[in-house]
Amino acid sequence: MTAAEKFRNLLAADDRYDPEAYNFIYEALDWTLKKVARAEGRSNHHVTGRELLEGVRQFAIEQFGCLARTVLENWGITATDDFGEIVFNLVEHDLMGKQDSDSKDDFHAVFDFADVFDLAPVFCYAVERDEWKAAYVSKGRIRGTAKKS
């Protein structure tokens, strides 16, 4: 059976998530593997559920900025548990591998979407590149900083 056939079977068995959500997980996993492997000097190609979720969080912000939460929710993803469901759907349909120690529980309530995706852009101008760049910070951090002033 081809990967495309396996994917069609997955979508027929569980239509809770937009097909783009699965593609996003693959891209976020690749992004995370590169970041984690580079940062830790690891040679193995496995990340834990929590490492993947942190990569997903950062990758979503990098890709979608302030719209990250909106995009994910549009795909049917409203909590970290949804990422676990997506990953294990892929595993069940032989489209992703896992280790014996991996579990859906690794994805349970790891962070709250409102906390990590309620973002405000912070703009800065890079003179040497003659361009504006946007970074994103939690609105909670901004409010917390404002209260201390």
Q: Comparing 125 with 142, which gets the higher pLDDT?
A: 125
Inform me whether the pLDDT recorded for 141 exceeds 90: no
pLDDT at 148: 39
Domain encompassing residue 58 = 3-117
Inform me whether the pLDDT recorded for 64 exceeds 70: yes
State the CB neighbour count (10 A cutoff) for residue 22: 21
pTM: 0.84
Domain count along the chain: 2
Q: Comparing 44 with 72, which gets the higher pLDDT?
A: 72
- Answer whether 78's CB lies under 8 Å from 116's CB: no
Same domain for 110 and 124?
Answer: no
Same domain for 148 and 93?
Answer: no
Same domain for 111 and 122?
Answer: no
Same domain for 87 and 141?
Answer: no
Same domain for 92 and 125?
Answer: no
Mean pLDDT of 69-82: 97
Mean pLDDT of 62-68: 94
